[in-house]
Amino acid sequence: MSQLAQVDLIIKNAKELLTLSPSIKDESGLGIIPGGAIAIKEGKILWVGKTADLPKQFAIDSHGQEIDATGKVVMPGLIDAHTHLVFGGSRENEFEQRIQGFSYLEIAGKGGGILSTVEATRRASFEELRSLGRRRLDRLLSKGVTTIEAKSGYGLSLEAELKILQVMRALQEEHPVDIAPTFLGAHTFPKEFKDERRRYIDLLIKEMIPKVAEERLAEFCDVFCEEKAFNLEESREILEAGKRYGLKPKIHADQLSPGGGAELAAEVGAYSADHLEYVSQRGIERMAEKEVTAVLLPGASFFLSMKKYPPAREMIEKGVAVALSTDLNPGSSMTESLPLMMTMGCLFFKLTPKEAIQAVTVHAARSMGREKEIGSLDVRMKADVVLLDIPNYRYLPYHFGIDHVELVVKKGRVVYRNKYSHQ
């Protein structure tokens, strides 16, 4: 009286199945199952274990499939916890100026920088932004990314910020990659408020945040807390206002100068503090105490040729969870390659390959409050899975600048196949 259990998808024979599950204690710290298999039903993980132990009663649905991962690595879909996905225009001219020796801040002072992208984004139509965003999501997916956080912040007026967040909503409806939207109206002061900072902060607090919350367009509220952008008091006021409207706080903190951003992140109960090149000792301790995740962005250090790196080892030793993200944006990190960030995280910030993998899975999920749904392969979690054509997990940061992704499963469906894949 064998009872068949219908499943939609089985991936089996993985050389290494990285579960990232805290329930599997192994030497690697990644919860690896050698010869691993995973069974998926209705978008969720039904079973994880050794291929040899796959329950005999599993029967694949007529629309379903079985994938052989012999010799390869299977792991949770990657999570990019800090992107500026929706923007118009591009800034390759600044790239060239920086090669000639001009600094990021000098270029911003001459009318380039964030404000030039604000101009281009305001000019762009909804459909243009949607098409640009779609292509970026496709590229992220091809690198194994199944969930991202995406910030507004290149509109800086009520109308343009709403346009960006609505583009994200439309992209969420059409694209398999999940998007956690963040309102970053406090990215910088728009030129029309250059000499009226207070009026812009009032606009953010009294009009933009309430409207964004009313339309349910964002889950998080972020602030660029920096001498040249929003100071500590302004940042606190904006994040507290966001909280009153149900927006969870995040902070761009201590990127270009030490400013107490990490301490503020702990004080307001932020999900993450991001960048942190100039974080203080006290800031690290407070983040550990309040369990604020550090989202580090090696692409920005690399792209801006900044020699100052965040003290990642110290943060890890003090108990701060460290995530790595692309910071995808046209000025300081024009890339969709999260695996490349892993290589840089290892070489610049001295993360081990194990820590780099945790940084784009469990820790990235935590920085978005989604660790119960994504970031590890456990029963009942979302079936977001990547199959990589590499012999072991260390290869992912080691063999760099290469597409190792063979296929990507999102909520139980194969949504991407590398054209060279034999699956």
Q: For residues 350 and 284, give the distance between their C-alpha atoms in angstroms, rounded to a whole number.
A: 17
Q: How far is the CB of 167 from ligand NIG (least distance, A)?
A: 17
Contacts of 245 (CB under 8 A, 6+ apart): 209, 210, 212, 213
For Fe ion, the closer CB: 60 or 334: 334
For ligand NIG, the closer CB: 264 or 288: 264
User: What six digits make up the tokens of 383?
Assistant: 């079936």
Residue type, 421: S
For Fe ion, the closer CB: 247 or 276: 276
User: What six digits make up the tokens of 221?
Assistant: 């509220």
Contact with ligand NIG (CB under 6 A): which of 152, 255, 335, 376? Answer: 255
**Contact status: 327 vs Fe ion (CB under 5 A):** yes
Contact with ligand NIG (CB under 6 A): which of 161, 222, 254, 327? Answer: 327
Q: How far is the CB of 385 from ligand NIG (least distance, A)?
A: 29
Distances (CA, A) of 368 to 121, 148, 221, 364: 26, 9, 12, 7
**Contact status: 147 vs ligand NIG (CB under 6 A):** no
Q: How far is the CB of 156 from Fe ion (least distance, A)?
A: 15
Distances (CA, A) of 170 to 86, 184, 206: 12, 18, 26
**Contact status: 83 vs ligand NIG (CB under 6 A):** no
Name which of Fe ion, ligand NIG, none residue 331 binds, using a CB cut-off of 5 to 8 Å depending on partner kind.
ligand NIG
**Contact status: 298 vs ligand NIG (CB under 6 A):** no
The stretches of 20-157 forming alpha helices (DSSP H) are: 92-99, 104-109, 114-123, 126-142
Q: How far is the CB of 291 from ligand NIG (least distance, A)?
A: 23
**Contact status: 8 vs Fe ion (CB under 5 A):** no
- Please check whether residue 408 is in contact with residue 415, taking contact to mean a CB–CB distance below 8 angstroms: yes
Residue 392: exposed, middle, or buried by beta-carbon count in 10 A (0-12, 13-18, 19+)?
middle
**Contact status: 183 vs ligand NIG (CB under 6 A):** no
Q: How far is the CB of 197 from Fe ion (least distance, A)?
A: 21
Contact set with ligand NIG (CB under 6 A): 113-114, 117, 224, 252, 255, 300, 327, 329-332
